[in-house]
Amino acid sequence: QLNIGVLAVQGDFAEHSHVLRSVGVTATEVRLPKHLDGLDGLIIPGGESTTLSRLMSLYDLRDPVAELAARGQAVWGTCAGMIMLANEITEEDPVPMGLMDVGVQRNAFGRQVDSFEQNLLIQGLGDREYHAIFIRAPVITRVGDAVDVLASLPDGRPVAVQQGKMMATSFHPELTADARIHRYFVSLAGGPPFDPEAPLIDTPRV
Ligand code: GLN
């Protein structure tokens, strides 16, 4: 069985693990570098990126996560996790890992009360719209040549991108009962090919 790690130092890692298990893969909580051994991919969850950044430094997780990505393994950052993957952010804090060639602006929609939900069409996921939840979300401000935009807001700003086997989403797919993006990521990590025609396997909330 495929084994996907979920960085579990801060943020909503439990929800990601729950969805991963519901689509038939092993979910391993990663708190220390040794927990990265033998993984097929890694999810960096949403939360608070300055805290996430500090804890990743404190537990010496930055280099081994970068090495995992450099080896070509699948890595996906959601929300604060997306901020950590960027190579450029508009704020001074946190210091991102620079694994994806994207620019990111934190808190791009305002304060916590300005969180919102938006239906999106996501490239590769089929014709059914995806209900995306944005919580004090970042937005992608620059997309490098090697990066594909998978989804954008109605105003054109990208909110889901892929670069090789790396993915970043502004929103929180682990909070909705639609596991398509997790299944897509599992396919990038070496699991069964994603079939957009397959019936949705809806996951209950944690
Ligand atoms: N606003 C948070 C930050 O900038 C991200 C929010 C989230 O992950 N839902 O770190």
Residue 20 identity:
L
Q: Is pLDDT at 125 greater than 70 in this prediction?
A: yes
Q: Are 134 and 170 in contact (CB under 8 A)?
A: yes
Band of the pLDDT at 61, cuts 50, 70, 90? very high
Cα–Cα distance for residue pair 21/184, rounded to 1 Å: 14
Residue the block writes with tokens 């996921």 = 125
Catalytic option among 29, 79, 88, 92: 79
Higher pLDDT, 197 or 152: 152
* Torsion from C-alpha of 111, 204, 45, 173, nearest 10 degrees: -70
- CA angle, 148 then 161 then 106, to 5°: 135
- Tell me whether residue 21 is annotated as binding: no
Which residue's CA is the closest to the ligand 1 atom numbered 5? 80
- Tell me whether residue 47 is annotated as binding: yes
pLDDT digit string (tens) for 145-156? 999 999 999 999
* 48 CB within 6 A, ligand 1: yes
* 83 CB within 6 A, ligand 1: yes
Cα–Cα distance for residue pair 131/109, rounded to 1 Å: 18
pLDDT digit string (tens) for 26-55? 999 999 999 999 999 999 999 999 999 999
Q: Is pLDDT at 110 greater than 90 in this prediction?
A: no
Catalytic annotation present for 174: yes
* 46 CB within 6 A, ligand 1: yes
Domain 3-188 in CATH 3.40.50.880? The answer is: yes
ipTM for the predicted complex: 0.95
Task: Record the pTM.
Answer: 0.95
**How large is the average pLDDT for residues 87-100?**
95
Provide the residue ranges of all domains of the chain, joining segments of one domain with +.
Answer: 3-188
Q: What percent of the chain has pLDDT over 90?
A: 87
Phi-psi label, residue 82: left if phi above 0, alpha if psi -120 to 50, beta otherwise = alpha
* Ligand 1 center from residue 5 Cα (angstroms): 20
- Tell me whether residue 48 is annotated as binding: yes
Residue 113: per-residue pLDDT? 81
Residue 149: per-residue pLDDT? 98
